Structure 1
Amino acid sequence: MATVGQIIFGSMIAIIFILAGIIILILATSLGGNTSSMAESRFKFPVGNLDGDVMLDCKFFAVDSGGKPVTTIMVTWEKEGLTGVVHKYASDVNQLQEQNPRYKDRTLMFPDQINNGNASLLLRNVQWDDEGSYTCSVSNSNGQGKVNVNLRVAAYSAPKFTMEATGQAATLKAVAQRWYPKPTVSWTDFNGANLTGETEFSNNSAGIFKVTSVLKTVKVDDSYDCIIENALVKSVSNALVTDSGVTEKNYFKMNSAALPLPHWLISFHFPLWTYWILS
């Protein structure tokens, strides 16, 4: 006959397996994988820059199993929780009669590339409420398929550098006008060694942060990297200090990681797992 401890242990194991199943189900639902290999996206978690443009990537097979071009192509873009369509293309033309007013004059597909399998959508003037899960649905003479693309929205800009020289010493200042969510700032020298800068943040009425960071005692003809990053975007700017000023290069890297697990689920199963380990 099982002891009370064995019963509790068995119950905890069962609960853990049940919760694991729930986690997998939520991931499968929220991350939005392909429901058909006919439609796919290389970038399922793009980051749009506030007030800028962003491409929602969607591709499909443009030939059938016999190598012949597909016909009767229809592409529909929809947003989860929103009535109407974001964009629709059928019969070789845009079909925007059912387009949600929020997207009027802000969407663009590429008719000259659709026959080649490009069903991507350009979304202009990105706003905060554009964030969410989009579905690209494709049907043609070869079948149908769909893929989800999860758009995140941030505000980011490359910093501008200025140098102030006082005698033999020089100070390098980086100013980035718009960041959200609030980022962190770090500096490194040309060898990759960490340096200490003085950073200040100020935000406007919309909550967008202006970043000002100062690196003291820099040397002429040396280069320095200023890294500004948050959970969505990383900006790496290289500043070469010269007698005549600062030469700068910049690139952005988007965080392509999937959406995190819901906080309620993490807080729910973690204590149970801890209890089982410690028992």
Structure 2
Amino acid sequence: MASLGQIIFYIMITLIVIFSAIIILIVSLTLSGNSQVESLNRLPVANLGEDYILSCFLPADSEQSTFEKVSITWRKKSLEGIVYRYEDGAENNAEQDSQYRGRVEIFSDLVLKGNASLLLRKVRLRDAGEYTCSLSHSGGGGDIKINLRTAAFTAPTFTFSSGVLTAVASRWFPQPNVTWLDAEDNVLQGSTDFIESSAGIFRVISTLGSVNVSDTYTCRIKNDLVASNSDATVTTGSVTPGEAYFTYSAASAQLTSYLRVITFLLCVTYLM
């Protein structure tokens, strides 16, 4: 016969499983939005200072190839004014918030095909947040939420001198971590300095000593939003850059908070 402590433990585990399922369902519904409108990326990461497109469109399998009486409104959570509005065949931005004035536009030649994607020029740090794209036409419509994250990131450039391989990346935010790897993905001991600008952007300078000529090394620069993986092959007196690519975090802040709550409950249950 199970003891009282075991019964309590099993009840707590059951409750946590139920709460976890409910949380996952809520997050899924939040991210899914209205099925009549889609986006290529609902958790994008935009590079500060560069242009970025927030995608919003009707699915390709819609019965119509063109639409009539299309209306588009982009809003941002906690913003009194709108980000952008299109109706009656033209933009209508009388209520537009000043921070987006002259910085946003849609692709007018694609509107009647059900494309409401928004071009955001010269991304700023405060552009981060939850956006809602509302798209309607004579036959229906819907809306979708997009959580934009902002960061600064660049791939490093490499130099090689006196047995030391140096990687320099000019723009990173938030401050990243740097890891050096050999061709077999073994972690190597490097040294990294960060130089912060007046705007809070970091210049990354990382060095790796005692490298071997003809060997390939990887410099991985990573923060919570984006990671840069860049290869470099050391040759006599120089270095040859290889493959470089970025990967982006897909975890939303909301989901991360929920997972922290679940972890806390598991710890409490374990201690009981």
- Equivalents in 1 of 2:173, 2:74: separation in Å? 27
Q: Is the 8 A contact 2:160 2:237 kept in 1?
A: no
The answer to whether the Cα contact below 8 Å between 1:187 and 1:196 also exists between their aligned partners in 2 is: yes
Pairing partner for 1:254 from 248, 251, 261: 248
| 1:217-232 equivalences in 2 (<5 Å) | 217-232=210-225
Q: Distance in 2 between matches of 1:242 and 1:9?
A: 61
* C-alpha contact (below 8 Å) 1:159/1:237 kept by paired residues: yes
Instruction: Please report how far the alpha carbon of residue 16 of structure 1 lies from its aligned counterpart in structure 2 after TM superposition.
Output: 4.5
Partner SS for 1:70 = coil
TM-score normalised by the chain length of structure 2: 0.84
| Contact persistence 2:66–2:114 (CA under 8 A) | no
Aligned pairs for 1:228-239 (under 5 A) are: 228-239=221-232
Superposed CA deviations along residues 23-71 of structure 1, whole A, max 9, x for unmatched, are 3576357x4321x221011200111112222221111147853x45221
Mapped contact 2:20–2:262 kept (Cα < 8 A): no
1:178 pairs with one of 171, 176, 200: 171
Structure 1, unpaired ranges of 5+: none
Instruction: Call closer, same or farther: CA 1:262–1:64 in 2, change over 3 Å.
Output: closer
RMSD over aligned Cα atoms: 3.0
Q: 1:245 aligns with which of 238, 251, 272?
A: 238
Residues 28-177 of structure 1: pairs in structure 2 closer than 5 A: 31-34=30-33, 36-61=34-59, 65=63, 67=64, 69-165=66-162, 170-177=163-170
Match of residue 23 from structure 2: 23
How far is the alpha carbon of 1:183 from its aligned partner?
Answer: 1.1
Contact residue 78 and residue 136 of structure 1 kept, 8 A: yes
Task: Judge which range, 180-189 or 12-21, deviates more.
Answer: 12-21
Aligned counterparts of 1:25 and 1:228: Cα–Cα separation in 2: 34
Measure the CA separation in 1 of the matches of 2:146 and 2:261.
28
Deviations 1:210-255 (A, max 9, x none): 2111111223333221110111001011223234633324221211
TM-score, with length taken from structure 1: 0.82
CA distance in 1, matches of 2:28, 2:176: 30
The answer (yes or no) to whether the contact 1:62–1:70 under 8 Å persists in 2 is no
- Give the aligned length: 269
Partner of 1:192: 185
| Inter-CA distance 24–240: structure 2 relative to 1 (3 Å threshold) | closer
- Once residues 128 and 266 of structure 1 are traced to their aligned partners in structure 2, the CA distance between those partners, rounded to angstroms, is 26
| Closer, same or farther: CA 205–22 of 1 in aligned 2, 3 Å | farther
Give the residue type in structure 2 aligned to 1:132: G
Structural mapping, 1:205-216, within 5 Å: 205-216=198-209
Residues in 1 aligned to 2:263 and 2:255: alpha-carbon distance in whole angstroms: 12
Q: Aligned letter for 2:27?
A: L
- State, as a whole percentage, how many aligned pairs show the same letter: 41
Distance (Å, rounded) in 1 between the aligned partners of 2:238 and 2:96:
51
- Find the aligned partners of 1:11 and 1:223 in 2 and give their Cα distance: 54
